[in-house]
Amino acid sequence: MANKPLAYTLNERKGTLGKYAGKIVIQARPTGRQRIDHRNFCEEVARATTFTGAEVEAVLRLAAEIAKKHVENGDIVDFGDLGTLSPSFQSKLVEKGKEEFIVNKHITKPKVLLRPNARYFRLEGVSYERIEMKPKKPAKPNPGSDTPGNSGL
């Protein structure tokens, strides 16, 4: 697959922090990205192997399921170049002596945390191409809103 430049646009906005607070600044933002769906991704991987796209998809799905089961048991899974998967959750604060800590009440939102491998996720050897931002379509007026010439009734 040949590398192509990463497309970006320049956007103006008002700075909110530090020395740029309140000033108009210009910032580059990536654009022109396409989403590669899972099935097409598996087919692309399959073309470089002796597996079919369905087999690649099955192996990826199985790997994710097994990794999740390990994480649900409290283990940390090294997922190769992608990084590590580990269990995480939020815990509410409970004042000592005022209330008893109740696991099902005070621990919430259990999830799998992905800690990406910094070396893998650092893009190297990329080039950039500036493209012009497409003008936004004007918003259609809401028939029930109070706009000039509309009494809202």
* Residues in Cβ contact with 62 at an 8 Å cutoff, skipping those fewer than 6 apart: none
Please measure the distance between the N-terminal and C-terminal CA atoms of the chain and give it in whole angstroms. Answer: 58
At 148 the pLDDT is: 53
At 147 the pLDDT is: 52
pTM for this prediction: 0.61
What angle (nearest 5°) sits at the alpha carbon of residue 11, between those of residues 7 and 17? 120
Q: What is the pLDDT of residues 20-39, one digit of tens each?
A: 888 888 888 877 777 778 88
Q: Where are the alpha helices (DSSP H) in the chain?
A: 38-47, 53-72, 103-106, 118-121
Average confidence (pLDDT) over 69-88: 90
Q: What's the whole-number average pLDDT of the chain?
A: 83
Tokens of 59: 């192996």
At 76 the pLDDT is: 92
Average confidence (pLDDT) over 108-128: 88
Average confidence (pLDDT) over 111-127: 88
